[in-house]
Amino acid sequence: MANQEEVFKKIVSHSKEYGFIYQSSEIYDGLSAVYDYGPYGVELKNNIKTYWWKSMVQMHENIVGIDTAIFMHPKTWKASGHVDAFNDPLIDNKDSKKRYRADVLIEDAVAKIEAKLEKEVEKAKARFGETFDEKLYRETNPRVVEYAQKASSILERMNTSMTSNDMEGLKNLIVELEIACPDSGSRNWTEVRQFNLMFNTQLGNIAGEEGKLYLRPETAQGIFVNFLNVQKTTRQKIPFGIAQIGKAFRNEIVARQFIFRMREFEQMEMQFFVKPGEEMKWYEYWKNERMRWHKAIGTPEAKLRFHNHENLAHYANAAVDIQFDFPFGFKELEGIHSRTNFDLTSHQELSGKKLQYFDSEDNENYVPYVVETSVGCDRMFLSVLSNSYVEETVPDAEGGDATRIVLKIHPTLAPIKCAVLPLVKNKPELVEKARQLFDLLKPNFLCQYDDKDAIGRRYRRQDAIGTPFCVTVDFETLEDQCVTIRDRDTLKQERISIAELSNYIQAKVNWNNVM
Ligand code: ATP
């Protein structure tokens, strides 16, 4: 396949052309970093959410779900630390007037150094052939070692500046590295400033600071403030979890890479409440469990990896990302954080209400510790899409070669499960039979009926939206009550009786296959 940048462009245009994702308010030239999901997009997104909900809530007796409001009392965000510390370091280029995240500019510069390093390794690999000892080369070649040291020392300085709120340190790095504005090429920068990522709005009848409301930047706080409500009404005992799927809003400075970084997005978060001292055990458990979840839908191991945080958020004592190999490189897909008792303690202090759990086994009260798993629904969507997008050569009807674009989405997540296609549309008896079949399947599976164009074109249309099965009704069907079922990935066609069809499809799209 072409280079990854090309592939990414194709995925973005495929998403639009086939009704997965549209730019928001497109007729007004769009709103930056805000997107709408089209008819197939919403089905895939709903299936992703169902997959998460089932595997978290339905499969765990000790996890329950809630759905809390986007608006919360403004003190929530004071307690959580978002008012004071939910900032990105921001820098403006005075010539292009473009605004950037200082840490992203530095990370991009490091990525360039790493790319040079990899190029050296590739060159050596080609030169030495089979005898090449890559590990030794990476450890001893002076140029490679120099690049590696340079990259890690820049990252170390950046992390130190970030954790100590040293904006001048970040600016110095940008100047030293001679980083130029990607837009104008100019090095005429402002100072680095902190920029709060929360959107705010005003409560109807209260003027000024008093009435200031925020759009939640994460769903987690709705869980924390309801911790005791849920525990008491469901009689859960620690350890137990509360799960939620919902919208979150962040005024991101760097808004690019399609639905990877949006200003309005959806999170699937679960807070797991544990006894103090047991958090690391559960942190390990959820790390493994969440990685298993990503792999269960067929995402190859090589495209997923753990990445430990060096720069811990104010609330965490351990944190790891699950990164996915997006077309623009390995990036965070999910975060797993050991959040200590930071949030509950803080809410307890600011609200004056106790948020403690009475442990009847140990006969003691305590504020539980929390392990969080947080995955972006939209990033998950992008990972499924980029992992399943394939251009390939297949045999055409005349025995020649044809190329097709196919989305090899796991059948359980696929937007449409089955297409029902009468072989031709001008034979009323075929159309009637196909319609009957469609009516038979539709209560159980989202199906599509299609009788336009030649059968080959109809197959291509279904391939492009990832439909795992196409069922053709032909003249023989009228005699033998059998249809031809075509498999999206193998292209194998089988004759199968209508009586068995539902069970056949059900077996392939069953949730059981991914749990
Ligand atoms: P990043 O470092 O990429 O900004 P983050 O570490 O701030 O992400 P978290 O606060 O851990 O992200 O949020 C949990 C999850 O929510 C992320 O793993 C990601 O999948 C998703 N997410 C966060 N910000 C966005 C966004 N702007 N657009 C889409 N998804 C997002």
Res. 94 pLDDT band, cuts 50 70 90: very high
Nearest CA, atom 24, ligand 1: 261
196, 197, 265: residue to mutate for ligand 1 pocket, most atoms within 8 A of CB: 265
3-state secondary structure of 183: coil
| Single-letter code of the amino acid located at 323 | Q
Nearest CA, atom 14, ligand 1: 374
pLDDT at 1: 44
Nearest CA, atom 31, ligand 1: 376
Structure tokens at 514: 């991914």
267, 306, 324: residue to mutate for ligand 1 pocket, most atoms within 8 A of CB: 267
Residue 291 has pLDDT above 70, yes or no: yes
Q: Residue 217 CA: which ligand 1 atom is closest? A: 10
Phi, psi of 101, deg, nearest 5: -85, 125
Is the separation of the CB atoms in 411 and 463 below 8 Å?
no
Nearest CA, atom 1, ligand 1: 332
388 C-alpha to center of ligand 1: Å? 22
34, 90, 379: residue to mutate for ligand 1 pocket, most atoms within 8 A of CB: 379
pLDDT at 211: 80
pLDDT at 87: 85
Contacts by residues 425-433 (CB-CB < 8 Å, ≥ 24 positions apart):
425/451, 425/452, 427/475, 429/478, 430/473, 430/474, 430/475, 430/477, 430/478, 433/473, 433/477, 433/478
54 C-alpha to center of ligand 1: Å? 22
State mean pLDDT over 29-39.
95
Q: Residue 252 CA: which ligand 1 atom is closest? A: 27
- The second-level CATH assignment, the architecture, of 2-86+197-385 is 2-Layer Sandwich (3.30)
DSSP 419-431: EEEES-SS-HHHH
Residue 27 has pLDDT above 90, yes or no: yes
State mean pLDDT over 137-165.
92
376 C-alpha to center of ligand 1: Å? 6
DSSP 459-473: HHHHHHHT-SEEEEE
The tens digit of pLDDT for each residue in 319-373 reads 999 999 999 999 999 999 999 999 999 999 999 999 999 999 889 999 999 999 9
Give the domain ranges of the chain: 2-86+197-385, 92-195, 396-513
Structure tokens at 332: 């965070």
DSSP 236: -
382 vs 84: CA distance, rounded Å? 31
SS3 content of the chain, % helix, strand, coil (to 5): 45, 25, 30
Nearest CA, atom 6, ligand 1: 335
Secondary structure string (H, E, C) spanning 60-121: CCCEEECCCCCECCCHHHHHCCHHHHCEEEEEEECCCCCEEEHHHHHHHHHHHHHHHHHHHH
CATH match of 396-513 with 3.40.50.800: yes
The binding-site residues of ligand 1, defined as CB within 6 angstroms of any ligand atom, are 250, 252, 261-262, 265, 267, 332-335, 374-376, 378-379
Residue 461 has pLDDT above 60, yes or no: yes
Radius of gyration of the chain (CA): 27
Structure tokens at 60: 């765990």
Structure tokens at 51: 């997959």
Nearest CA, atom 30, ligand 1: 376
State mean pLDDT over 485-491.
96
DSSP 333-353: EEEEEEEETHHHHHHHHHH--
Instruction: Tell me the CA distances in angstroms from 457 to 336, 429, 461, one per residue in order.
Output: 44, 22, 6
Res. 117 pLDDT band, cuts 50 70 90: very high
What sections of 167-219 are H helices per DSSP? 167-176
Same fold? 2-86+197-385, 396-513: no
332, 377, 382: residue to mutate for ligand 1 pocket, most atoms within 8 A of CB: 332
CB-neighbour burial class of residue 176 (10 A; exposed 0-12, middle 13-18, buried 19+): exposed
167 C-alpha to center of ligand 1: Å? 22
Report the percent of the chain where pLDDT is more than 70: 99
Return left, alpha or beta for 165; rule: phi > 0 is left, psi -120 to 50 is alpha, else beta: left
The neighbour count for residue 484, using CB atoms within 10 Å, is 18
State mean pLDDT over 288-313.
92
Nearest CA, atom 3, ligand 1: 332
Nearest CA, atom 16, ligand 1: 376
| Single-letter code of the amino acid located at 365 | N
State mean pLDDT over 137-151.
94
Residue 52 has pLDDT above 50, yes or no: yes
Nearest CA, atom 8, ligand 1: 332
Phi, psi of 327, deg, nearest 5: -60, -20
The tens digit of pLDDT for each residue in 78-93 reads 999 999 888 889 999 9
Residue 209 has pLDDT above 80, yes or no: no
